[in-house]
Amino acid sequence: MGDKIQEMTEAVKRKLGEIKTLQELQDLKVKYLGKKGEVTSMLKGLGGMAPEERPIFGQKVNALREELEKSMERREREVKERILEQRLQKEKIDVTMPGKNIELGSSHPITQVIQEVEEIFLGMGYSIADGPEVETAIYNFDKLNTPADHPARDLQDTFYITEDVILRTQTSPVQARVMENQKPPIKIICPGAVYRSDTLDATHSPVFHQIEGLVVDKNITMSDLKGTLEMFAKNCLGPNTKVRFRPHHFPFTEPSAEADVSCFVCGGKGCRVCKQEGWIELLGCGMVHPKVLENCGIDPNEYSGFAFGFGVERIAMAKFGIDDLRLLYENDVRFLKQF
Amino acid sequence: MKASIEWLKDFSEINVSGKELGDILTMTGSKLETIEERGKDIENVVVGKILEIEKHPNADKLIVTKVDVGSEILQIVTGADNVSVGDIVPIAKSGSTLPGDVHIKKGELRGVESNGMMCACTELNIPVDRYPNQIEHGIMILPPEMESRLGENIVEVLGLEEEILDFEITSNRPDCFSIEGLGREIAISLNTEFKNPRKNLAEMKVENKTELEGLKVDITAPDLCYRYIARMVKDVKIGESPDWMKRRLEACGVRSINNIVDITNYVMLELGQPMHAFDINSIAGKHITVRRANDGEKITTLDDQERILSQDMLVISDEEKAVAIAGVMGAQNSEIEETTTTVVFESAVFNGGSVRKTAKKVGLRTEASSRYEKGLPQENAERAINRAVELVEIIGAGKAVDGKIDVYPTKQTFNQVEFNPEKINRLLGTNIAREDMVKTLEKLEMKVEGNTVIPPYFRVDIERLADLAEEVVRFYGYDKVDCTLINSEATLGIRTKAQKLTDKIRQTLVNKGLSEICTYGFINEKDLDQLCVTEDSDLRSQVIPVKNPLSEDYSIMRTTTLPSMLQTIVTNQSKKNKNVGLFDISRVYRNVDGQIEQGNVPTEDTMVTIGMYGENVDFYILKGLVEKILSISSVLRYDVVSEKCNNSYHPGKTANIKVGKDVIATLGEIHPEVAENYDIKGDVYCAEIWLDKLVKYGKMNKKYTEVAKFPAVERDIAMVIDEDVEVGNIERAIEKKGKKILEEVKLFDVYRDEKIGAGKKSVAYSLKFRSKDKTLTDEEINSTMEEILKELESLGAELRK
């Protein structure tokens, strides 16, 4: 009997070594360990044995069964591993082949700049206001302290619809509309298209975009204006950006300033982009003129405010290195997809 | 405003370089635009005397000269024909440099050695009219007395070195449109002394007369002329101005004409007050009237152009004719001539707005008008005319006549401005001491009396506290003001519902491969014809024309965004871009019910416009995009209705999306005729979606619906039906009878073939039934299915089993 067990052990070991597929292994399992398998029948044969032999033989058969189970398990793992390895080997691809193109579109560079600016000011508690592009002269000029014979009305060559209705030359009329309809505190920016009678060339366009900012509250100071714009410039143009405020004149602010930023191409050393000056003119700003506050129904003795405004195209061009404004309005998809 | 350092030094100590001065003034409000350094580009050019002139042996048009340049005698060959022995001329020696980076070297001319070059005025950048008797195309002949300076550097001898700064002057500072005003700003900016050399002018006592040597002056339009002063000089000898005056004029960009005209320009540049000079003999009746022009009145201005005037313009007139357009330009008929012996100077103040409008209307913006339009102070006029008369005597051009005629109907008013240092500091966010503020204001010649400031006559721009704050902080230094962040009530920084939706739509379209374009709000009136828009369409009747368009292409505000999109598609097709998908989020402008005529703003609506062409586009892809937009806008209930009447679109491939009766979007293929009108090749698909309506109908507040607990049962239906029956109708029929237990209707097959027959199609649906609260029985589903089938049969469907 012992011989038989010995024989069987060896036979299984031999067969296991030859096995290549999981199916063969399964068949082997059934052959020996299945319900009608050889080991099982051996155990069944125990009944015909002498009672004293039974436990000894039973033990031996059980030991055999355990050993076979173990070696089959071990073999199963090996076979599985080998099969997996072969599969992985077979499935190998050339990862340097080109990727499949997933077409994405793009938002317009002007939109991208506007959104970036919006994010910065939303984070500072500003909301985004909107107003008509076909505007009345009253909102575009009169309320902003630019009366009928003010020279500024000529400087910005205006498109007229009628005597009283024009295409807005600036986003500032939105300021006036907001001030009339909202009590301070007011903290808004208003991005949008503006119109001036300039022929389209590399640096001019009859339509362009501006972003206007306005804050009105108690105790708003010029140092708040400086701090706010410095925060904006550093976030929009890089943390090393320096801001310089120069006195200037606008009818709707007093004191007024122009803000220059250190050239983002050369960092202020002087280059072609900044015309060797090291500075690039960024925006106009100032403390809201008391007459403007009055015109919009806000008491200048109680409230003060600041306002600023800048051109989006100028920033987009500088930021993306675009040297011709016309590209922004030509909308060639090969240009658009670069952004 | 151009100014030479040399002239500015009359008014202020300048102890820094031109560049530094420019940088400092930039920070106090007069921005340096450009800086010109004359004479720096001339090197090694000296004074020489011609000793000998001989013919060139090999060339008829050349001469060989010997020139004494002090240290040596040079042989120079030249082609000039205006030189003679003994002439003193500028010599560019070998190794010299001339303006324009011209280098002169020793050389041979037709075999004869030449060791330099004689220079013409133009070669040294000297205006031909600065020195007497110079000719344009000839060697500059220096005055004989310069013989004593042979060999000396021409730059020093002629004083060619000059620094000219060009400042940007803001429109509120007409006083800085003068050397005097700039000089004052410089003195304060540099903290040096303002020399105030023209202080004497205001103190001159000139008797006011009603008649001056027979001359009378009247103002009949005092609303446009606030002051008119006339003074007279006689025994005038018209001639050239002295060198120093010409040079200063040139530096400021003004050409020298003759001594009298030059004086008027000189005074304007120096003091900021435009002047005019007439020949007394050309003033008929010796009677000057400042009056409104007659409609259609003609005048030929000094630039030899005939101008037609109108009633809103002001003229200076004699008893017969207009002799000047007030504040703009004089007329030829009263010009100073070489024979003039008695001159009337005019120094007047006109209404700035009127001068500006007149200058614009006649198309003539002059140095004078650009000053007047900013609004000049009446009090400066007398100083200016006194200066002009003084200059006549200084340069010996004539003799002053005693007395003046000063018609001064509108006296200058002086503001009394509240001065409150605490308020100023509060506005600026600074802590500037009162004394320092007072010091600055006093340097600006303002009178500080307790809590009141009275600005000087030349600062008409100072009206209120904020103006004083600007003056204070200009000289305190904008850079010294702290940077702080607003310290006040917190505000919410969030986007509105519409703004959020816009961003979401944009992002979705970008993710679907479309690129955003940016277009003008203008279109051409012809665009509406090209779009085949019907005559009675709102798109035409609501159009807003631009009164002064740049060109026909920009002549109206668009009532539809299609032209902008189609133009962009044309551009892309012409660049050979294939398979293009574009979108535009922009406005249309509609004059609804005469809004504009009533002085109101028109209606502006924001549109999402999609435009696509190429291989991967058809109606259903476009529709899928539009439905995606509707879905992210949470517009859940809408109808898709075939649209056959929109002439811009293909009648068989176009749909409107409607909520109730309101069309919220139109989508389809562009009509082939329209495509042809725009020169578009191939099929183009466009959609126009009213963004504001998406916001209106979108249910942004999302609600949870329970996830199904009971199993669904699926059934398929296939039918043959007339081609004309739209699947939309079939779906509506199914939904109508499917009632509550029908969860989903999915079209999975549509085909046509010969077996089915012409004019028919086979349509197949998969239906999903489910109940919220139990497992459905076969009987329940069967009875519902039966009703659905009956309904479909009534549509003419033949069911396939």
Express each pLDDT in B165-194 by its tens digit.
Answer: 999 999 899 999 999 999 999 999 999 999
* B137 and B261 co-located in one domain: no
Is pLDDT at B657 greater than 90 in this prediction? yes
pLDDT band at A28 (very low <50, low <70, confident <90, very high): confident
pLDDT the model gives residue B653: 93
Is the CB of residue B348 less than 8 Å from the CB of residue B291? Answer: no
* B285 and B318 co-located in one domain: yes
Mutate to test the interface with A, among B569, B592, B601, B617 (most CBs of A within 10 A): B601
Partners of B116 in the β-ladder: B93
* B182 and B126 co-located in one domain: no
d(CA B136, CA B127) in angstroms, rounded, equals 9
* B364 and B243 co-located in one domain: yes
Q: Residues B102-130: pLDDT tens digits?
A: 999 998 888 899 999 999 988 888 888 77
* A147 and A83 co-located in one domain: no
Q: Residues B587-630: pLDDT tens digits?
A: 999 999 999 999 999 999 999 999 999 988 999 999 999 999 99
Contact A161 B547 (CB under 8 A): yes
Q: Residues A134-184: pLDDT tens digits?
A: 999 999 999 999 887 776 676 558 899 998 999 999 999 999 999 999 999
Of B472, B478, B415, B463, give the one whose Cα is nearest residue B438: B472
Is A225 within the bounds of a domain?
A: yes
The count of domains in chain B is 6
* A208 and A61 co-located in one domain: no
* B187 and B298 co-located in one domain: no
Is pLDDT at A321 greater than 90 in this prediction? no
Q: Which of A31, A61, A91 is the last residue of a domain?
A: A91
Is B534 within the bounds of a domain?
A: yes
Which CATH number belongs to the domain containing residue A205 in this structure? 3.30.930.10
Contact A329 B510 (CB under 8 A): no
Scan residues 294-313 of A and list those with Cβ closer than 8 Å to B. Answer: 304
CB atoms within 10 A of CB B131: 17
Where in the sequence is the domain holding B782, given as residue range(s)?
Answer: 713-800
Tokens 């999302």 map to which residue?
Answer: B702
Per-residue tokens: B690: 């009213």
Is pLDDT at B365 greater than 70 in this prediction? yes
pLDDT band at B76 (very low <50, low <70, confident <90, very high): very high
* B10 and B90 co-located in one domain: no
Element holding A253 (H helix, E strand): strand A253-262
Write the DSSP symbol of residue A48: G
pLDDT the model gives residue B755: 86
- CB nearest to A224's CB, from B173, B484, B514: B484
* B74 and B98 co-located in one domain: yes
Is pLDDT at A36 greater than 90 in this prediction? no
Is B706 within the bounds of a domain?
A: no
Q: Which of A33, A60, A91 is the last residue of a domain?
A: A91
* A193 and A300 co-located in one domain: yes
Which CATH number belongs to the domain containing residue B441 in this structure? 3.30.56.10
Is pLDDT at A68 greater than 70 in this prediction? yes
pLDDT band at B728 (very low <50, low <70, confident <90, very high): confident
Query: Which residues in chain A touch residue B518, judged by CB atoms under 8 angstroms apart?
Result: 108, 110-111, 328-329, 331
Contact B171 A135 (CB under 8 A): no
Query: Which residues in chain B touch residue A221, judged by CB atoms under 8 angstroms apart?
Result: 426-429, 484
* B151 and B220 co-located in one domain: no
pLDDT the model gives residue B700: 66
Contact A222 B429 (CB under 8 A): yes
Per-residue tokens: B122: 């133009």
Q: Which of A61, A91, A121 is the last residue of a domain?
A: A91
* A178 and A74 co-located in one domain: no
* pLDDT (mean) for B473-496: 92
Is B492 within the bounds of a domain?
A: no
Q: What single letter denotes the amino acid at residue A336?
A: L
Is B412 within the bounds of a domain?
A: no
pLDDT the model gives residue B569: 97
The interface predicted TM-score of the complex, written ipTM, equals 0.83
Per-residue tokens: A199: 């022929």
* A64 and A117 co-located in one domain: no
* B265 and B174 co-located in one domain: no
DSSP assignment of A201-240, as one string? SSS--SEEEEEEEEEEETT--HHHHHHHHHHHHHHHH-TT
Is B276 within the bounds of a domain?
A: yes
Contact pairs from chain A to chain B, CB under 8 Å = 248
Q: What percent of chain B has pLDDT over 90?
A: 76
Q: What is the mean pLDDT of chain B?
A: 92
Is B150 within the bounds of a domain?
A: yes
Query: Which residues in chain B touch residue A195, judged by CB atoms under 8 angstroms apart?
Result: 521
Which CATH number belongs to the domain containing residue B662 in this structure? 3.30.930.10
CB atoms within 10 A of CB A89: 8
Of residues A15 and B350, which shows the higher confidence score?
B350
**CA dihedral (B356, B184, B474, B478) positive or negative:** positive
CA B141 to chain centre: 46
- CB nearest to A223's CB, from B352, B428, B596: B428
> Is the bond into A239 cis (omega within 30 degrees of 0)?
no
Of B209, B197, B216, B229, give the one whose Cα is nearest residue B389: B229
* A225 and A283 co-located in one domain: yes
Enumerate residues 6+ apart whose C-beta is below 8 A from B414.
B454, B455, B457
* B185 and B242 co-located in one domain: no
Using the Cβ of A293 and the Cβ atoms of chain B, whether some distance falls under 8 Å is answered with: no
Tokens 């003039």 map to which residue?
Answer: B340
* A64 and A154 co-located in one domain: no
Is A103 within the bounds of a domain?
A: no
* pLDDT (mean) for B629-658: 93
* B533 and B622 co-located in one domain: yes
Scan residues 13-52 of A and list those with Cβ closer than 8 Å to B. Answer: none
CA distance A154 to chain B (A): 9
Q: Decide the pairing of beta strands B287-292 and B216-219.
A: parallel
Crossing angle for the helix pair B421-428 and B465-476, nearest 10 degrees? Answer: 70
pLDDT the model gives residue A155: 53
* A115 and A187 co-located in one domain: yes
What are φ and ψ of residue B415, in 5° steps?
-75, 145
The count of domains in chain A is 2
pLDDT band at A40 (very low <50, low <70, confident <90, very high): confident
Is the CB of residue B160 less than 8 Å from the CB of residue B154? Answer: yes
Is the CB of residue A314 less than 8 Å from the CB of residue A320? Answer: no
* A213 and A242 co-located in one domain: yes
d(CA B398, CA B389) in angstroms, rounded, equals 9
d(CA B670, CA B30) in angstroms, rounded, equals 57
Q: What percent of chain A has pLDDT over 70?
A: 98
- CB nearest to B473's CB, from A103, A155, A222: A222
Q: Which of B646, B663, B697 is the last residue of a domain?
A: B697
Is B33 within the bounds of a domain?
A: yes
CA A253 to chain centre: 36
Contact B575 A106 (CB under 8 A): no
Is pLDDT at A1 greater than 80 in this prediction? no
Is A97 within the bounds of a domain?
A: no
pLDDT the model gives residue A2: 63
* B430 and B332 co-located in one domain: no
* A40 and A135 co-located in one domain: no
* pLDDT (mean) for B17-42: 92
Where in the sequence is the domain holding A117, given as residue range(s)?
Answer: 109-336
